[in-house]
Amino acid sequence: MDLKETVKAAAAAIKEEVTGFRRYLHQHPELSFKEFRTSAFIKEALDEMGIAWKPIAGTGVLAVIKGAGPSEKVIALRADIDALPITEANAVAYRSVNDGVMHACGHDAHTASLLGVARILESMKASFSGTVKLIFQPGEEVLPGGARQVIEEGGLTDPQADVVLGQHVMPAIPAGKVGLRTGLFMASMDEIKIEVYGKGGHGAEPHKGVDPVMITCSLLQALQQVVSRNAPPLMPTVLSFGKLKADGAINIIPDMVLIEGTFRTLDETWREQAHIRIKELAHTLVSGMGGRCEIEIRKGYPHLKNDEALGMQVRTFFEEYAGREQILPQDIWMASEDFAYYSQELPSFFYLLGVRNEERDICSALHTPTFNIDEEALELGMGVMAYAALRWLETKQD
């Protein structure tokens, strides 16, 4: 058999095992940097496969598979392993048993798929040259993100990785298809906290105080000018506030109002300029209305840019494996991902694995209590990643 057929046969043979991996992980989700049982499960699976590993970034696991050939090329494959603080609403046999914790972003599928890739590559290591690093990364869902810690602890070195690949399940894409985009793909993410202070008092006598509620209303509207009047027109930019707390009452004007939100874009220079503009506008407006404010902008993940040259290679490999009709072009996605840290270090490529199945009512969005995947997608997920890694390793470097 040629390489494609060999990988496809291997993926088909372990489909049920990998589905079992995914169901176990889904049933036992753990929050960011607390993935102790998950980490133990990954280590046990790798031990059973005879694959060497070491801990990294606390609860993370770094494994290495070295081919028999002499090549010095190294490719890193990454899966995130943490879950979200969401109570699952799915009525499935493998429903989460950890109250208030759920794999609502598909990291169980990412981890199971990479374990499948590990088994495929380990079974084929006598027939390929080069090295594959498997990064089972903790803490993608919370700042500062596990990716940065993996990098700081040398996860991409010794041996030095040349490129990094990662995948993410996507419920907007039908199972059996893969979404690709080269160049700018995902946004940076910053957390904004603003406390607006005034002088509280009786609701019947607003003239005797400084109403931070009304100041905040004006501030929320004015801050949108950062997007509509300050952002470069062709640069995707989002400023959203999802939390507002005014701890008064129907007849009590509070002393302080809290608002929290997020700023996202795809250019690091504009990102820094926007932070300055947000702070200047807020302080000026609030003081002009008689109050004062305190602002904290917590800088999160950078924007994610898929390497153009690597992306062209990956597209070719995916089309060879799955067929050109199964590859769907993607738009910019304003969500954020700490895989972006890898893309800032090395040529990297992050792609989307379709998991939608409308006939089975598997359509819920990421980060929702009813999110689920069509598990038939796991066979393609592990197969296409393993094939892309092997094809990249056998391709001559420029």
CA–CA distance, 328 with 39 (Å, rounded to integer)? 33
| Same domain, yes or no: 30 and 139 | yes
pLDDT along the chain (398 residues), means of 10: 95 98 98 98 98 98 95 97 98 97 98 98 97 98 96 97 98 98 98 98 96 98 97 96 96 98 97 98 98 98 98 98 98 97 98 98 98 98 98 83
| Same domain, yes or no: 235 and 370 | no
Q: Return all residues near 133 (Cβ < 8 A) that are at least 6 apart.
A: 62, 63, 64, 74, 75, 76, 77, 155, 156, 159, 161
Nearest partner of 359 among 176, 225, 161, 181, judged by Cα: 176
Q: Which two tokens stand for residue 239?
A: 């400023």
| Same domain, yes or no: 255 and 332 | no
The residue range of the domain holding 145 is: 3-187+303-394
Task: Tell me how far CA of residue 233 lies from CA of 89, 227, 236, in angstroms.
Answer: 41, 9, 8
| Same domain, yes or no: 14 and 136 | yes
Answer whether 61's CB lies under 8 Å from 53's CB: yes
pLDDT confidence of residue 1: 77
Answer whether 146's CB lies under 8 Å from 32's CB: yes
Which letter does DSSP use for residue 227 in this model? I
| Same domain, yes or no: 110 and 144 | yes
| Same domain, yes or no: 30 and 156 | yes
CA–CA distance, 337 with 357 (Å, rounded to integer)? 24
| Same domain, yes or no: 32 and 178 | yes
User: What domain count does the chain have?
Assistant: 2
CA–CA distance, 96 with 100 (Å, rounded to integer)? 9
CATH number, domain of 248, equals 3.30.70.360
End-of-domain residue from the set 299, 320, 346: 299
pLDDT confidence of residue 398: 53
Helix/strand/coil for 305: strand
CA–CA distance, 145 with 58 (Å, rounded to integer)? 12
End-of-domain residue from the set 262, 281, 299: 299
Task: Tell me how far CA of residue 119 lies from CA of 7, 8, 352, in angstroms.
Answer: 11, 13, 22
Q: Return all residues near 147 (Cβ < 8 A) that are at least 6 apart.
A: 78, 137, 140, 338, 339, 340, 341, 342
| Same domain, yes or no: 71 and 101 | yes
Nearest partner of 303 among 388, 395, 235, judged by Cα: 235
By DSSP bridging, strand 163-174 and strand 348-356 are parallel
**What's the chain's length in residues?**
398
| Same domain, yes or no: 19 and 135 | yes
| Same domain, yes or no: 155 and 201 | no
| Same domain, yes or no: 264 and 369 | no
End-of-domain residue from the set 268, 299, 330: 299
| Same domain, yes or no: 54 and 170 | yes
CATH number, domain of 327, equals 3.40.630.10
Whole-prediction pTM: 0.94
